Amino acid sequence: MVFLTILAISGSATFNKVINSWSNSIAGTVTIQVPNIKTSNDLNNVAVRSERIIRELEKDSNVLSARLLSKEEVTELLTPWIGNANINLLPLPQLIDVVLLKSTEKEEKALQSLVYSLVPDAIIDNHRLWFEHLLNLMKGFKFLTSSVASLITTALILTIVYATKASITEFYEVIRVLHLVGAKDVYIATQFAKRAFSYAFKGSLSGLIIGSVTIITIAILVRRMQSDFIPDLYLWLDLVILLPMVAITAISITVITAFITVLNNLRSLV
């Protein structure tokens, strides 16, 4: 159960990291596409039109930065989609990366009005629509993994309760003898708790080792993808704290549950 809990909690932490990373990277970011139209008029040249937009955006107090992406950057963005084709032969638009101080609907409409007044055929993409769907999907996965972790914890507690009751029934005669010689309920419950600790420690240690190896392996595989779309999933500091805490929590739950279960059942057995 420790192994499954580690997978569930690590998954929840990873999805949370992905959500925060994507939200921070996309917040206030707008991409402007300036179509590459062949024309004999120099004023309609794509470079001139792009510079016209950037020059006006730099005057806007709500614009933190407006930067024209180089051909190398555009090529790097397109390579995963179209391969190593000769991109220079394609009539690609020029891209302007804009970072806004405020990204409210009012501010974005003001930006659209400004850009369209300068270049009517420009395309403005704030990434919000498709990105919100993606974030909702990630939040759903996060909720699912958190729910799985809660279910596993509940199952662990119930398993300990029933296993402890079975042990009490098994050692009923021993418990009666201990009571006859003056042993207190707390002493007997402590012995059961120690026994539960022994089993929980061995099981949690095994689950911790297997879970750690699994999570680290997944992190390495994701790292090798080298995708800007997927953020760095190396949660080394998080894992160092999180994974042992899962094992410690499982042991604590086992010991406390066993102790309380024995105390509650001794009164009815003896």
In the numeric block, which tokens belong to residue 51?
């510079």
Q: Rounded to two decimals, what is the model's pTM?
A: 0.64
Question: For 29-125, which CATH class?
Answer: alpha beta
Does residue 59 have a pLDDT over 90?
A: no
Run of H or E residues at 242: helix 236-269
Chain centroid, CA 10 distance in Å: 8
> Angle, nearest 10°, between helix axes 105-118 and 46-57?
140
Q: From 158, 214, 201, select the one nearest 6 (Cα to Cα).
A: 214
The tens digit of pLDDT for each residue in 3-51 reads 888 888 888 877 777 777 766 666 678 888 888 876 655 556 788 888 8
Q: CB 5: neighbour CB atoms within 10 A?
A: 24
In the numeric block, which tokens belong to residue 237?
């500091």
Q: Please tell me the least confidently modeled range out of 13-17, 164-168, 183-187, 232-236.
A: 232-236
| E-assigned strand segments in the chain | 29-34, 63-68, 94-100, 123-125
Helix (H, G, I), strand (E, B) or coil at 212: helix
Q: What is the pLDDT of residue 259?
A: 93
Amino acid in the structure at residue 184: K
Query: 175 near 269, Cβ under 8 Å?
Result: yes
Structure confidence at residue 236 as a pLDDT band (50, 70, 90):
low
Residues in the chain: 270
CA distances from 190 to 31, 60, 97, 181, 267 (A): 65, 71, 65, 17, 15
**Domain spans, the chain:** 2-22+130-269, 29-125
